[in-house]
Each structure stands twice: as C-alpha cells, then as structure tokens.
C-alpha cells in the first residue's frame, strides 16, 4: 500500500543520494537536466551522486561532448546529455513568446537574429558572447541573453563549460552527424509526453504540478501529454493527492535509507518537486531556496534535510559553514566532516576550518 513515506523512499533511492550511480551517463539518463548557471554546482552534483567520479572524469564528459550546456528547463542553463538535445529542442523551442515580444518591442526580429547567429557560428569552431552580440546587433543584455538561449533550444548553439565569466559557444554541426530538425510544434504533445515519461522514470511518483515546477511548462499541455502515456503510466492517490508513476515502479517498494549524506547546491531533491515536504519541513524552505532561486547545499540524515552547508574559498583553502535546522546529534559531526573533506579535496582544495551554527534556523 502506497503512502507518503513510501513515495519519499522511492524518490530518495532514484535520486542516487544514498546509493550512487556507477556512471555519469547513466546518472544523466535518469536526471535529464542538471542546473548549471554556475559550473561548480554541476560538478558537485556529479561528485555527490556518481560513484568514483572526480574532476578529471567529469571534465572528460564535457570535453568529449557527451555533456553539453543548453537553456531548457525553466528557461535556465542546464547540463544535458548531447543525445537529448533534440528532445529538449522539440519541447522548449516553441515556448518563448514573451522573449519574442520583448525583441519585437526593441525593434529586433528574433528569427532574423537567429539566422544570423546560425550562419556566423558555422564559420568558426568557437564563438564568444561578445561576437554573437555584434552579430545580433543589439546592446540590450536581456534580449541578447534571450536570443542566445533560444539559439540553444533551436538546436543551433550550445555553451562550452568554460569559466562562469566567459561565455564561449559552438555550433551543433561540430558535434558531428548534423541534420536539420523540424521545430514547428505539430508533434508537441508527443515530444512532451516523452520528456514526461523520462521524468517519471527518474523522479516518480510525482504530481503533474511537480513536473510543471521542474520543467517550467504550463499544466494544460502537460495534461494533454499525460493522456498519451496511459499504457506506460498509472496513478495512485495518497492523502487526497494524485501521483503518477511508471507501471513498472508500482511493486518496487524501497526501504528507509538510513545515513548521513551531503549534496551540492541546486540539488534535484529540491528542484524536482514543487512540494518540499517529502524531504524537509516547509518552514525551512526560505533557508534552503532564496526568492531569486538560489538553492543551498544540503545535509540529509535518514532521508530528511537537517541543515545546509556553505563553502568560502580562500586561495587553495576553504572554510565551511554548517547550519543546522535543529539540534546536532553527537554522531553527525565526524561523518559530516569526513564527507566535507572528501568533497573539497576532490575539487583540489583543502578545508581550513569548519564553523557550526547550531539551532540558528530552528
């Protein structure tokens, strides 16, 4: 019999917190998208969820273009598998009416701008944001941002994983096996149903509101896409809430995950579900996620978030601030410190000092 506790345990197991994934590609096939406005949180996601991953193996997956950065979910920059780019383009490329109107009001034809970007990016293996801004012919940073985001969702450009201050792009043709994609929205529900199915495989059981929160897509097209999945998915009702899951998950009951685990910032445990109560008391939401969407790194004990941690870089050393939502248990500190040292060392730094802020948020 399904209840909220069981739903939480199945989700927790799928997220790869207690039991890490063995391979970066397998992990991304389940996660689909990793928020990547800054590169470091994306790297930390792999370090905390993929067994034996390190800076070199992660960078190798970016260098060989297994992983690429695109705008997609919630109109923000994410890491995706390159093999998923067409799926992301088909789902998100037609959902930028607001940006199209902003460009029009500024006297810019976004379709003409995209054609110019496409033509110019084909001539060079790497192009900078500054070059593309000149090609677009607009000084408004918001509009340039929107055009380049649309270019990634249209299958023209992807962002290379350089430092966060330098934006370098490459045309999709340089990935090899190039072909034109038809992005007219005629099969929108079919493509969206494929993404929804992938989400339920990787994150379900979940509500359609959860998928809307994760993807940034409105509920009406989601409901239409869901109707196409009647053979693959089913619904269950728990405490007056309807959850959807793939049928193969119905008998896959998970046991309680005991232990202490750390995540990086912008972890999928928070970003993938609208209702946070499955993993933390909602009163702590403002301390985990700010109004501008910044998401803190998490401390999870026995499948519940008990606090957050922050890093302060000082040269080759780091200070760490740990803040608990309640009272620290005696056994937590040595385990947390060992994990913090392991993660920071994996990035090539040393932990200088760890500060504990007990009961600050209680």
3-state secondary structure of 307: strand
For 203-260, how does the pLDDT look when each residue is reduced to its tens digit (9 = 90+)? 999 999 999 999 999 999 999 999 999 999 999 999 999 999 999 988 776 666 678 9
3-state secondary structure of 311: strand
Please give the share of the chain, as a percent, with pLDDT higher than 90. 68
Q: Specify the pLDDT at position 358.
A: 65
For 43-82, how does the pLDDT look when each residue is reduced to its tens digit (9 = 90+)? 999 999 999 899 999 999 999 999 999 999 998 999 999 9
Give CA–CA dist 233/246, Å, rounded. 4
3-state secondary structure of 172: helix
Q: What is the mean pLDDT of the chain?
A: 90
For 273-301, how does the pLDDT look when each residue is reduced to its tens digit (9 = 90+)? 999 999 999 999 999 998 777 899 999 99
Give CA–CA dist 36/32, Å, rounded. 13
Q: Specify the pLDDT at position 222.
A: 97
pLDDT at residue 166 above 80?
no
Cα angle for residues 18, 21, 25 (degrees, 5° grid) = 150
- Residue 328 is classified by DSSP as P
pLDDT at residue 348 above 90?
no
Give CA–CA dist 116/103, Å, rounded. 15
| String of DSSP letters for 183-233 | -SSTTHHHHHHHHHHHHHHHH-SB-HHHHHHHH---HHHHHHHHGGGTTTE
Q: Specify the pLDDT at position 17.
A: 84
**Whether residue 45 has a cis bond before it, omega within 30° of 0:** no
Residue 6 vs residues 12, 142, 195: alpha-carbon distances, Å: 10, 44, 24
Give the CA-trace dihedral at 134, 174, 195, 223, to 10 degrees.
40
């Amino acid at each position: 019999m399904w209840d909220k506790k069981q739903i939480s345990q199945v989700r927790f197991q799928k997220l790869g917190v207690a039991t890490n994934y063995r391979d970066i590609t397998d992990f991304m096939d389940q996660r689909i998208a990793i928020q990547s406005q800054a590169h470091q949180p994306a790297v930390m996601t792999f370090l905390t969820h993929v067994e034996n991953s390190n800076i070199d193996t992660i960078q190798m997956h970016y260098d060989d273009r297994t992983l690429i950065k695109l705008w997609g979910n919630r109109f923000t920059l994410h890491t995706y598998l390159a093999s998923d780019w067409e799926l992301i383009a088909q789902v998100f490329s037609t959902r930028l009416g607001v940006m199209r109107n902003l460009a029009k009001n500024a006297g810019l034809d976004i379709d003409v701008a995209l054609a110019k970007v496409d033509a110019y990016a084909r001539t060079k293996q790497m192009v900078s944001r500054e070059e593309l801004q000149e090609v677009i012919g607009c000084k408004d940073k918001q509009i340039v941002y929107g055009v380049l985001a649309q270019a990634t969702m249209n299958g023209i450009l992807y962002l290379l994983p350089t430092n966060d201050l330098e934006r370098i792009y490459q045309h999709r043709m340089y990935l090899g096996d190039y072909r034109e994609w038809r992005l007219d929205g005629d099969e929108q529900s079919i493509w969206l149903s494929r993404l929804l199915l992938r989400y339920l495989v990787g994150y379900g059981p979940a509500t359609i509101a959860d998928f809307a929160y994760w993807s940034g897509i409105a509920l009406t097209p989601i409901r239409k896409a869901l109707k196409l999945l009647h053979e693959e998915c089913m619904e269950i009702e728990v405490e007056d809430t309807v959850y959807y899951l793939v049928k193969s998950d119905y008998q896959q009951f998970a046991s309680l995950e005991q232990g202490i685990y750390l995540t990086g910032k912008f972890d999928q445990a928070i970003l993938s579900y609208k209702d946070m109560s499955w993993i933390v008391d909602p009163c702590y939401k403002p301390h985990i996620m700010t109004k501008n969407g910044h998401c803190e790194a998490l401390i999870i004990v026995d499948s519940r978030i008990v606090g957050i941690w922050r890093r302060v870089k000082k040269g080759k050393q780091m200070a760490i601030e740990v803040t608990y939502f309640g009272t620290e248990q005696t056994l937590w500190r040595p385990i947390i410190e060992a994990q913090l040292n392991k993660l920071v060392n994996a990035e090539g730094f040393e932990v200088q000092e760890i500060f504990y802020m007990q009961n600050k948020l209680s």
